[in-house]
Amino acid sequence: MRILSVLFFALMLSACAPRTSGISIESSNQNVVIGNSSLASKLTIEKAMITNVNGLMKAAVPVTSTSEKDLKLQYRVYWYDVQGLELEGSDAPWRQFVIHGKDSMTLQAVATNANAKQYRIYIRRANY
């Protein structure tokens, strides 16, 4: 019974893991958080950019592959208000993409809420 309790506790802790085991970058301070050093060694992330599209914030983050091989990845953007609180509707599905060896691309998204003033983009390996 004790072993089952320990296994259950370990399972519960793993459920509380961060949103991704990849890389994230914040628009407000350009802070890059690396949760997967293997993936981080294969990507270069440029400065997170912000523009405006019809009164809505547009996120844009240029990424470059440092790998010779294609990388199958996903990204998701979370939107925050001026106080840093996550806005409703930030739970959009992960977007899949492939970045070819030594290629560059810009990951983009437009907020659905005019109160968005900051964002954080998460990048992780895809399972497809």
What are the tokens at 61? Answer: 């983050």
pTM of the prediction? Answer: 0.80
pLDDT value at 91 more than 90 = no
Residue spans of the domains in the chain: they are: 20-125
Q: Give tens-digit pLDDT for 20-67.
A: 579 999 999 999 999 999 999 999 999 999 999 999 999 999 999 999
pLDDT value at 18 more than 70 = no
Give the domain 20-125 fold. Immunoglobulin-like (2.60.40)
74-to-40, 65, 97, 127 alpha-carbon distances in Å: 14, 14, 6, 9
79 Cβ contact partners less than 8 Å away, ≥ 6 residues apart: 57, 86, 87, 89, 90, 111, 112, 113, 116, 118, 119
Q: What is the pLDDT of residue 5?
A: 33
